[in-house]
Homo-oligomer: A and B are copies of this chain.
Amino acid sequence: MGNYKELWTKLGVDLEKHDKLCAVLPEMYGNTYLTQENRPQGMNYFNSVVAEIHGFRIQELDELKKKGTKVVGTFCVFVPDEIILAAGAVGVGLCAGSEFWVEDGEKVLPRNMCPLIKALMGAKVGGTCPYFQSCDMIIGETTCDGKKKAWEVLDKYVPVHVMEIPQMKRDKDYKLWASEIKEFINKMEELTGNKITVESLKAAMKTVSEKRKALKRLYDLRKYKPSPISGLDSLLISQIAFYDDPERFTQKLNELCDELEERVKEDKGNCGTKKRILITGTPMALPNWKLHSIIESLDAEVVVEENCTGTRYFENQVSSEGETMEQLITNISDRYLNINCACFTPNTGRIDDIVRYVKEYNIDGVIDADLAFCHTYAVESSSVEKELKDRNIPIMHIETDYSTEDSGQIKTRVEAFLEML
Contact = CB atoms under 8 A, between A and B. Distances in A.
Given A142-B345, A168-B164, A172-B176, A149 B110 contact: no
A324 interface: no
A372 B375 CA distance: 13
Nearest to A140: B345
Interface string A139-179: 00010111011111100000000101011100011001001
A162 to B, nearest CB: 6
A346 B148 CA distance: 9
A376 interface: yes
Interface stretch (A204-212, A276-284, A379-387): A379-387
Interface in A374-401: 375-376, 378-383, 399
A146 B378 CA distance: 9
Interface residues of A, number: 39
Interface string A60-88: 00000000000000000000000000000
Contacts of A110: 375, 378-379, 381, 399
Interface string A171-205: 01100100100000000000000000000000000
Contacts of A144: 145, 375
Contact of A376 (B148, B179, B376): B148
Contact of A162 (B109, B179, B345, B379): B345
B375 A152 contact: no
Nearest to A156: B383
A403 to B, nearest CB: 16
How many copies are assembled? 2
Contacts of A383: 152-153
Contacts of A146: 375, 379
Contact of A108 (B173, B372, B382): B382
A342 B150 CA distance: 12
A378 B162 contact: no
Contacts of A162: 168, 345
A112 interface: yes
Given A167-B164, A176-B176, A145 B382 contact: no
A146 B342 CA distance: 11
Given A112-B372, A112-B373, A373-B112, A152 B378 contact: no
Interface centre among A148, A150, A166, A168 (most CB of B within 10 A): A148
Contacts of A342: 149
8 contacts: A110-B381, A112-B378, A144-B145, A149-B345, A149-B380, A151-B345, A164-B167, A373-B375
Given A108-B382, A149-B375, A149-B380, 5 more contacts: A149-B345, A150-B379, A153-B379, A162-B345, A164-B166
